[in-house]
Structure 1
Amino acid sequence: MHSPELSRDTATAGEAVAHYLHTQAGDFLRSLRLHGESGADTAGASEAARALRASSRRISGTLYTFRPLLDPAWADGLRTELGWLSATLALEHACTSRLSRLLDALSRLSGTAPLPPARTEVSLRYAVASSRGGATDSTTGTLPNAADSAAAGATPGRDAASGEETADAAPLRGGEADRGNEDRPAGPAVNGTGSAARGGALNVGAARAGALLERQLTLARTRAHSAALQALGSSRFHAVADAVALLASELPLAPAAAGPAAETLGLLAEVAERRLLDAVAQLPLGRAAHPYNADALVNGLTTATAGEEQDAPWHEVRRLLRLHRYAQEVLHPDADPVLCHAGRVLDHHRDAAEASEAAAAAARTPRIAPATAYALGVLHADQRHEVEAARFAFQQEWRRATATVTAP
């Protein structure tokens, strides 16, 4: 691992962590104020909630990585509460995004909406890899630091204000399907990807499948909205806000925080990096290097538990990659995010996996028509293909990044 160098003159590790946490606490409090001022402005409230989640994740991740420099009881308690808040606020947006994703996919699959000019960046990567003869497995090496990420081919593309990947709102699609056709009666299939008979069979159940998904996910979104409002008005949330407000002015440090910033922070960031490297080494990247290997699809057609188990390691890598990136932000405050595009790919993987679970859950609804179940099955398979495409794209990103920093 490259020896980290702070971009500003910081005497101790405690001062560097305190500066970063003070900044994130200020963002949290500003987002909270904007959320309170948004009122009936749904878009404004949604953006404020997104910013609250982003700052909550950064504070929580920093408390986890640099826990030895802080009062452990205080850090663990605040991290738990911030995790609760972030998860509660994310539910409503997750339901909204999932519904939009599934309805767009149904329209595309049934031929009731035109295919976007560039469906997904992942699909383009399939074509590139096929023309180059595929890719090789590369699971070892040292992650690039912020300065190396540009040379490694990582595409920043982050939120201009915070560098956050807009965790739930950064799909890799090049365009969005026409949503105006969702309620139009289904016609014959004209997408050219299957026979007219197959398209007709899908169209029969697509409208009812869309209505079923909309009913289920709208109900879930309404419940999530009510839960978020209840959480924001609870004494538990006010206690979290008070703790973050104190964090903006003071930070309970441990004796280890008096060590040199570059050396002390570098050792702790290296631990986070090693966890990420170990988790990636457990992924089947060699298999994922082959386009359309169908592992994600075949495993996704097994029981719900088996599907969740095979997705879990990828979700864990996504979490560890985020922690690694936050640690690098402490070490290199003014640099571009590390492996930002790889994080976006894993966001896409998570979204597709959860959408496939929603389609499978809808298909298990009692007494639905066979055509509706068929449409939901096709939708489930489509989302599992998106999962597989995201795994392929992540393998490409990881191989390119690690190959750059390990080259002689």
Structure 2
Amino acid sequence: MTDTPLATQAPPGGEGLAGTPLDEGTPATRALSAHLAAEAGGFLRELPSVDLHTLRRVGAALHTFEQLLDPAWSQELREELARLGGLLGQERAYSRRLARLLTSLDSLTCADATGTERTAGPVPQQREAEGLLARHPGAPKARALLERQLTLGRSRAHTTALQELGSARFHALADRMTLLVSDLPLRPGAEAAPVAALLPCAVAEATALVSAVRALPLDRGAVPYSGDMLHDPGDDQPWQQLRGLVLRTQYALEVCGPLLGTRATRPAAALSDLARTLARHRDAAEAAEAAALAALTPRITPATAYVLGVVHADQRLEVEAARHAFSSAWPDLDRSGWLTDTWLTNR
């Protein structure tokens, strides 16, 4: 990304991120309703499956543009969507942790694609360098322990998810989602707001994001794999919250896409990349925590505990790498002028 102002990318009224361009006389509630109806329609068509991305997008829109919506209804639905997303996301979270930890363990033991350690048979002439845990006696037991604990957690989460999808509470939520398609509850007087009223809401999300980033010690991420975060997971939470702000800002630009046209394409793409980087941060932090918890299992051997400690350290290094990637990418977006340009702030 360059320092060229994003406002020069396209003339007003180009094709937007979502749908056709809007006339500036269009009511803001019409644009918001169209966006929410599309997301809610997808949610209802996919039932009984649930797309977590849809839950996040709807929840983000309800939060960002709440000044146009019935506040009590909006808050209640937003809380229900967050609760459902967190509950249904647990099964996938266990799967991510298990896959990441086993991949880490395979890398550290130099296992091949089938998971078999390269210790049997004749030694090849051209062989990859052995990992730190190659032929370590605790590696097989550590692998078995991680598989057992995380598979059990995933199974329990799956059972909980199935119970939730069959509950009266879930069906009540589905009924609420139908309102997004047919009759969006609005705040009194919101119908008179022009479509440009969406922009200050998007700016508020972007401003909160910038403030959150400036509060972070980005200088600590200047060097990847520095070892600075090996034993300090206490500051993960601000980075986890940052991902939510990045996503909300990205989704806000998507809602404003028909108004902004192609001018919002580059910042939205940059925000999407940052969200993926922060998802890597989340996955590595959660995997490190799972390895640390496994190491606390009673009566495991010192060799097994050592292997789990090495895997934990490997994932904390991946946390550092993700922070470095974010710290390297953010200045390009910050200097691009996307937040201060007149196409976003002066309508």
Give the structure-2-normalised TM-score: 0.84
Alignment counterpart, residue 8 of structure 1, candidates 22, 44, 51: 22
Aligned to 1:213: 146
Shift in alpha-carbon separation, 1:272–1:185, aligned structure 2, 3 A: same
Aligned to 1:321: 246
Alignment counterpart, residue 227 of structure 2, candidates 289, 294, 307: 294
Instruction: Please state how far the C-alpha of 1:293 moved relative to its aligned partner.
Output: 2.9
CA RMSD of aligned residues (A): 2.4
Alignment counterpart, residue 375 of structure 1, candidates 290, 307, 313: 307
Structure 1 counterpart of 2:161, one-letter code: A
Aligned to 1:19: 34
CA distance in 1, matches of 2:246, 2:38: 21
2:28·2:194 contact (CA, 8 Å) conserved in 1? yes
CA distance in 1, matches of 2:336, 2:58: 30
Alignment counterpart, residue 398 of structure 1, candidates 323, 330, 339: 330
CA distance in 1, matches of 2:250, 2:91: 26
Aligned to 2:277: 345
1:186·1:203 contact (CA, 8 Å) conserved in 2? no
Please state whether the residue corresponding to 2:137 is helix, strand or coil.
helix
- Give ranges in structure 2 of 5+ residues lacking alignment: 342-347
- Give ranges in structure 1 of 5+ residues lacking alignment: 36-47, 114-177, 300-306
Question: Percent identity of the aligned residues?
Answer: 46
Instruction: Please state how far the C-alpha of 1:214 moved relative to its aligned partner.
Output: 0.5
Please state whether the residue corresponding to 1:367 is helix, strand or coil.
coil
Structure 1 counterpart of 2:336, one-letter code: T
Aligned to 1:174: none
Which structure 2 residues correspond to residues 20-59 of structure 1 after superposition, within 5 A?
20-32=35-47, 35=48, 48-49=49-50, 52-59=51-58
Instruction: Please state how far the C-alpha of 1:384 moved relative to its aligned partner.
Output: 0.5
Alignment counterpart, residue 129 of structure 2, candidates 172, 192, 197: 192
Which structure 2 residues correspond to residues 147-158 of structure 1 after superposition, within 5 A?
none
2:133·2:307 contact (CA, 8 Å) conserved in 1? no
Structure 2 counterpart of 1:221, one-letter code: R
The CA deviation string for residues 98-154 of structure 1, in whole angstroms up to 9 with x for no partner, is 1111111101101223xxxxxxxxxxxxxxxxxxxxxxxxxxxxxxxxxxxxxxxxx
CA distance in 2, matches of 1:228, 1:186: 41
Aligned to 1:66: 65
2:110·2:130 contact (CA, 8 Å) conserved in 1? no
Aligned to 2:294: 362
2:6·2:337 contact (CA, 8 Å) conserved in 1? no
Please state whether the residue corresponding to 2:229 is helix, strand or coil.
helix
Structure 1 counterpart of 2:179, one-letter code: L
CA distance in 2, matches of 1:260, 1:74: 22
CA distance in 1, matches of 2:165, 2:324: 39
Instruction: Please state how far the C-alpha of 1:191 moved relative to its aligned partner.
Output: 4.6
Q: Compare 280-289 and 208-217 and name the one that shifted more.
A: 280-289
CA distance in 1, matches of 2:68, 2:298: 54
Please state whether the residue corresponding to 1:297 is helix, strand or coil.
coil
Instruction: Please state how far the C-alpha of 1:404 moved relative to its aligned partner.
Output: 2.9
Aligned to 2:100: 101
Which structure 2 residues correspond to residues 214-293 of structure 1 after superposition, within 5 A?
214-254=147-187, 255-262=189-196, 264-293=197-226
CA distance in 1, matches of 2:63, 2:103: 38
Structure 1 counterpart of 2:151, one-letter code: T
1:275·1:320 contact (CA, 8 Å) conserved in 2? yes
Which structure 2 residues correspond to residues 175-186 of structure 1 after superposition, within 5 A?
178=113, 180-182=114-116
1:290·1:392 contact (CA, 8 Å) conserved in 2? yes
1:296·1:384 contact (CA, 8 Å) conserved in 2? yes
Aligned to 1:134: none
The CA deviation string for residues 300-358 of structure 1, in whole angstroms up to 9 with x for no partner, is xxxxxxx2x30011111101000001110110157543421111100000000000000
2:294·2:308 contact (CA, 8 Å) conserved in 1? yes
Shift in alpha-carbon separation, 1:268–1:257, aligned structure 2, 3 A: farther
CA distance in 2, matches of 1:295, 1:246: 49
Question: How many pairs does the alignment contain?
Answer: 312
2:109·2:130 contact (CA, 8 Å) conserved in 1? no
